């Protein structure tokens, strides 16, 4: 009988036990406390908290700006990834490194920098202000901050897929008479679509929970530019723990449903490609 091969890593039972324990301590247990603390409220009190006009307004700002930022990042993230993969030019490595800058830069520093740039007396905002265009302390400024922190998620998700997509495939399509737009829509886009969906979901989910880069540029005006994370912090400072966890629970459920929907779309897209 052949001898049993020893793997480098521990066996399945031990690996599964370590995995479940780690995930329980780092993910499931903290999330469970959100449900437990929220359970202190009755259903009517919970519903009254999460549907308060100020809370609903913060939902609108957070989800609207996050969705807009994720859409912008999906388009320009694909463009940036395409340039980095398909072209060689001086400073390419520098541009590639700059993509990861939002990962390394503290979000508070990013928020202060963006506010300084886009304020009415800032380097960019000063030129826009005479035309009545306001960036800082508006939902537009919030969107700009979320674009800044979300771009790397799309670029780094799409880039490996474009690396694996051979140029010869596009050349073959061109030799068969396909125009550039037809090559993109029928050859390139179907291949990168699942990665684009993943990048969109990651950028959107990241933007929903963003606090540091947004809190400075938003102006934090209730009913106008107040985001949900700031509202949760405000409730915690007021010792309204049940109210804070109630709002956090709504965000948790919304994020989970979003990720579930994106995963289902990716699964369907992969099945169509395999067929």
Is residue 238 included in any domain, yes or no?
Answer: yes
Average pLDDT in the chain? 86
CATH of residue 94: 1.10.3720.10
Is residue 95 included in any domain, yes or no?
Answer: yes
Is residue 86 included in any domain, yes or no?
Answer: yes
By 3-state DSSP, what share of the chain in percent is helix, strand and coil, each rounded to 5? 75, 0, 25
Q: How far apart are CA 199 and CA 47, in angstroms?
A: 33
CA 89, 203, 115, 121 torsion: positive or negative? positive
Provide the pLDDT for residue 1: 47
Is residue 33 included in any domain, yes or no?
Answer: no
Confidence of residue 120 (pLDDT cuts 50, 70, 90): confident
User: Which 8-state DSSP code applies to residue 7?
Assistant: P
Answer whether residue 175 shows pLDDT above 80. no
Cβ atoms 114, 213 nearer than 8 A: yes
pTM of this structure: 0.85
User: What burial letters (b/e) apply to 73-99, b meaning 16+ CB within 10 Å?
Assistant: bbeebbebbbebbeeeeeeeeeeeeeb
Is residue 25 included in any domain, yes or no?
Answer: no
Confidence of residue 188 (pLDDT cuts 50, 70, 90): confident
107: closest CA among 234, 10, 186, 218? 218
Query: Could you tell me the two tokens for 190?
Result: 């179907």
**Per-residue pLDDT tens digits for 38-86:** 888 889 999 999 999 999 999 999 999 999 999 999 999 999 999 999 8
Provide the pLDDT for residue 8: 62
Q: Which residues have a Cβ under 8 Å from the Cβ of 99 and sit 6 or more positions away? A: 80, 84, 151, 152, 155, 156
Residue with more model confidence, 76 or 13: 76
Q: Which helix or strand (DSSP H or E) is residue 193 part of?
A: helix 189-208
Answer whether residue 230 shows pLDDT above 80. yes
**Per-residue pLDDT tens digits for 201-229:** 889 988 998 888 898 898 888 889 999 99
Task: Please give the residue range of the domain that contains residue 107.
Answer: 43-274
Provide the pLDDT for residue 9: 61
Is residue 31 included in any domain, yes or no?
Answer: no
Is residue 262 included in any domain, yes or no?
Answer: yes
Number of domains in the chain: 1
Is residue 101 included in any domain, yes or no?
Answer: yes
């Amino acid at each position: 009988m052949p001898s049993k091969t020893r793997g480098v890593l521990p066996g399945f039972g031990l690996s599964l036990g370590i995995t479940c324990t780690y995930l329980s301590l780092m993910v499931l247990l903290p999330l469970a406390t959100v449900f437990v603390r929220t359970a202190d409220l009755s259903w009517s009190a919970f519903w009254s908290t999460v549907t308060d006009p100020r809370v609903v307004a913060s939902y609108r700002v957070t989800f609207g700006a996050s969705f807009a930022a994720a859409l912008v990042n999906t388009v320009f993230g694909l463009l940036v990834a395409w340039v980095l993969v398909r072209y060689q030019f001086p400073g390419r490595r520098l541009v590639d490194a700059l993509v990861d800058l939002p990962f390394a830069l503290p979000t508070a520093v990013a928020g202060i920098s963006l506010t300084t740039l886009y304020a009415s007396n800032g380097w960019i905002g000063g030129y826009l202000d005479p035309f009545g265009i306001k960036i800082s302390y508006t939902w537009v400024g919030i969107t700009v901050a979320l674009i800044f922190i979300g771009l790397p998620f799309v670029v780094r998700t799409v880039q490996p897929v474009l690396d694996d997509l051979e140029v010869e495939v596009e050349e073959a399509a061109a030799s068969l008479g396909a125009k550039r737009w037809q090559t993109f829509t029928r050859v390139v886009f179907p291949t990168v679509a699942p990665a684009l969906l993943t990048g969109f979901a990651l950028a959107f989910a990241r933007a929903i929970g963003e606090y540091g880069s947004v809190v400075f540029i938003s102006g934090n005006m209730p009913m106008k530019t107040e985001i949900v994370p700031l509202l949760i912090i405000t409730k915690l400072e007021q010792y309204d723990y049940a109210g804070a966890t109630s709002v956090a629970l709504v965000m948790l459920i919304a994020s989970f449903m979003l990720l579930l929907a994106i995963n289902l779309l990716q699964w369907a897209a992969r099945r169509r490609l395999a067929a």
